[in-house]
Structure 1
Amino acid sequence: MSKIERLRQGERMSQIVIHGDTVYLAGQTATDPVPSVAEQTRQILAKIDTYLTEAGTDKSKILSANIWLTDVATFEEMNAVWDAWVAKGNTPARATVGSPLARPKNLVEIAVIAAR
């Protein structure tokens, strides 16, 4: 049976969970939720890069991504940042939906699962 590692663990959740060769990241939001979907997306992707590195992997090994936008009209704005960041030739399976988020200042949330 594979060991489960929990990194950046808090009372409510862990930011990173590793099981075998699979890395699960919690949904990430911007550290400084400025009123720009593009800037929030950049902040989130930088956090994802940091957490994946900490877990021993990188964005080229992302298997799937779930993205939540508070306003689907900002889909193209978010995609412009995503497209510049995502590992070319290694694009993951992805779903993007419109949904209210827990904190009104957060406009984007992204969760990924990656291989190690």
Structure 2
Amino acid sequence: MIDRQGTTKRYSDSTRFNGVVYLVEVPTLETGDIAAQTEDLLNNLDKVLAKAGTDKSRLLQVQVFLTDMTDYEGFNAVWEAWLPNGCAPSRACVEVKGLARKGWKVELVLTAAAA
């Protein structure tokens, strides 16, 4: 059975199937530096993960999309402080021309094991 949380006409906050949770998260802020946007995004992600029946210690893979690679170190500083020790997922980080909202600096695509 497929379990979707926060489903709208366009997307679901999370989709769970066969013990795997799939998510995409963006900041609610369209202003601020990469640290502020990343903190905002990760705070929201904690809530979405919990509703989906998992948490940040169960992340399997993350794709990080940055609009400017000069934000790489700023993103990593917040990411590393948020992620529990010994739980780093496989990860890719790429620069993109733009995201769906002009002010967004970061977007994450994540896969996690369900609890």
TM bucket, shorter chain: over 0.9
1:74-89 matches, cutoff 5 A: 74-89=71-86
1:1-116 matches, cutoff 5 A: 3-26=1-24, 28-99=25-96, 100-116=98-114
Deviation at 1:87, TM superposition (A): 1.7
- Give structure 1 stretches of 5+ with no counterpart: none
| AA matched with 2:8 | G
* 1:38-85 deviations in Å (ceiling 9; x for gaps): 010001111111111111111000000111000001100000000101
Q: Give the secondary structure class of the aligned counterpart of 1:91.
A: coil
Deviation at 1:33, TM superposition (A): 2.0
- Give structure 2 stretches of 5+ with no counterpart: none
Give the count of matched residue pairs. Answer: 113
Q: Residues of 2 paired with 1:75 and 1:51: CA distance?
A: 24
Contact 2:60 2:113 in 1 (8 A): yes
| AA matched with 1:45 | L
Q: Residues of 2 paired with 1:43 and 1:63: CA distance?
A: 21
Identity of aligned residues (%): 38
Root-mean-square deviation (CA, aligned residues, Å) is 0.9
